[in-house]
Amino acid sequence: MYNQRMAENPLFLRLKEACQLTDACWAAYTFREGDVWRLGDVYHLSKSSQAMLTAFLNEPGSATWLGGALTGGRARSRTLQDRSSLGCTRVYAFPAGLMTLVVVGAQAELDTRAQRIWKLAMLSDPFPPPSPGEVSLLQQTVIELQNTQQELQARISAQREAEARLIQAAKLAAVGEMAAGVAHELNNPLTTVVGFTELALEELPLDSPLRRDLELVLKESRRARSVVRRLLDFARQGETNRVKADINEIVEDVLLLTKHLMHTNNVQPVVRLGENLPWASMDRNQIKQVVINLINNALYAMPRGGQLEVETACQPRYNRQWITLAVRDTGVGIPPENLARIFEPFFTTRGDRGGTGLGLSVTYGIVTEHSGMIEVESEVNVGSSFIVWLPLEEAA
């Protein structure tokens, strides 16, 4: 049935012996030549079946299967829909060297022992060395696979980051929906407490022993009302008044208000305001609140003094122009475990120093309402950087 040359061929003998040991139907040594898979030595395949196998290997659907066996270094298999075409139900591909495979047909799934026999059979003797063209093609394939893997990892990272931002936005939106109702429920009794306390103080003599206690009640009631007001601001229930405004003018107003506070805290301001910046549509009072919150946050982060940088600019991003406001400090920084929570309402690390955890939440809400973004970078014992991006209106 086979001529003397085939009977003496070591590769043919290994194919034959492995088929007999594993009850495989047939086997063929295949190699890549350019973009085409070709057959070398075969066992138990007729001429017509060899032609069918060659066509099968070069079908578009076989490329991933064969490539996975080459690059993965392990056996891959496929189930045949048409069992009569190649006389088997499953086809296996075993890596046999650079750009070479041994393809095996079987009527049933090869168990672990049978697959190990085929792997050992392929390692018995060295195959002919690959041609320079085969090596070059393999290197190109490996590089393309590495690039694809890096691109896939980058996309997965971007998707995870987007999902994290979506979850954060959903959490803040849920709190915002509840904040208005809670704030209104608290505001009414607080107003009553403040009003009646003020009336009581007016009736009390100046030397009354109760005056000090009532003054403390009034002070704490007003502080609670201030927290409620900021909670309402976070819920964005107030009316907004959008006008064309100069971000530099707003920053200068806030710097004048906080100048004395910076001096007493031994903080050196460094101000870099962009020249001839276009005016953006914004609520002046709300954006002023953003600047105040960011500067106060920076001052709290520098209890022993430091340097506070405030910078404005006009920058392109996402195919449009933005006004940016950057506030950077040289303070204690934010630990990585807290960085993802700093915009959550009532999250604060300064609870023992009067912090309410609403400053950055309000800031986030205002910036988001202005269709803007806020970015944070921080390193412990080095400092933090907050950058606010406010969009300019699109040209008509």
Per-residue pLDDT of the chain (396 residues; tens, 9 = 90+): 444 445 557 888 889 888 988 899 999 999 888 888 999 899 999 898 999 999 989 888 888 888 888 877 788 998 887 656 788 889 999 988 778 899 999 998 998 888 888 888 776 544 455 555 545 555 666 677 777 878 888 888 878 877 776 676 666 666 666 666 677 677 778 888 888 888 888 888 888 888 888 888 888 888 777 767 766 655 554 556 789 999 999 999 889 888 888 999 999 999 999 999 999 999 888 898 899 889 999 998 999 999 999 999 999 988 899 999 999 999 999 888 888 788 877 666 655 555 556 778 888 888 988 999 999 999 999 999 999 999 997 543
Residues 6+ apart with CB under 8 A from 121: 14, 15, 17, 18, 102
- The fold adopted by the segment(s) 153-238 is Helix Hairpins (1.10.287)
Angle in degrees, CA 169, 359, 172, rounded to 5: 15
pLDDT of residue 35: 82
pLDDT of residue 126: 44
The CA distance from 112 to 107, in Å, is 16
Bridging pattern class, strands 76-79 and 280-283: unpaired
pLDDT recorded at residue 212:
85
Residue 71 is predicted with a pLDDT of: 79
**Predicted local distance difference test score (pLDDT) of residue 376:** 93
- In the chain, which residues fall in CATH 3.30.565.10? 240-396
Residues 6+ apart with CB under 8 A from 14: 121, 122, 124, 125
Dihedral sign, Cα of residue 233, residue 239, residue 244, residue 249: negative
pTM: 0.44
Q: Rounded to whole angstroms, how far apart are CA atoms 349 and 237?
A: 27
CA distance 64 to 386: 47
Among residues 326, 312, 322, 330, the alpha carbon closest in space to that of 391 is found at: 322
Class (C level, CATH) for 4-130: alpha beta
Please, where are the H alpha helices in 284-370?
Answer: 284-300, 336-339, 359-369
**Nearest Cα to 187, choosing from 220, 225, 223?**
225
Burial of 188 (0-12, 13-18, 19+ CB in 10 A): exposed
Q: What does 162-223 look like in DSSP terms, one character per residue?
A: HHHHHHHHHHHHHHHHHHHHHHHHHHHHHHHHHHHHHHHHHHS-TT-TTHHHHHHHHHHHHH
Say what the pLDDT of residue 1 is. Answer: 42
pLDDT digits (tens, 9 = 90+) for 290-317: 998 899 999 989 999 999 999 999 999 8
The whole-angstrom separation of Cα 331 and Cα 184 is 36
Residue 389 is predicted with a pLDDT of 96
Locate CATH 3.30.450.40 in the chain.
Answer: 4-130
Distance CA 78, CA 82 (A): 12
Other CB atoms within 10 Å distance of the CB of residue 19:
21
Instruction: Give the pLDDT of residue 127.
Output: 47
pLDDT of residue 367: 92
CATH code reported for the domain at 240-396 = 3.30.565.10
Number of residues in the chain: 396
Per the DSSP assignment, residues forming a β-bridge with 30 are: 39, 101
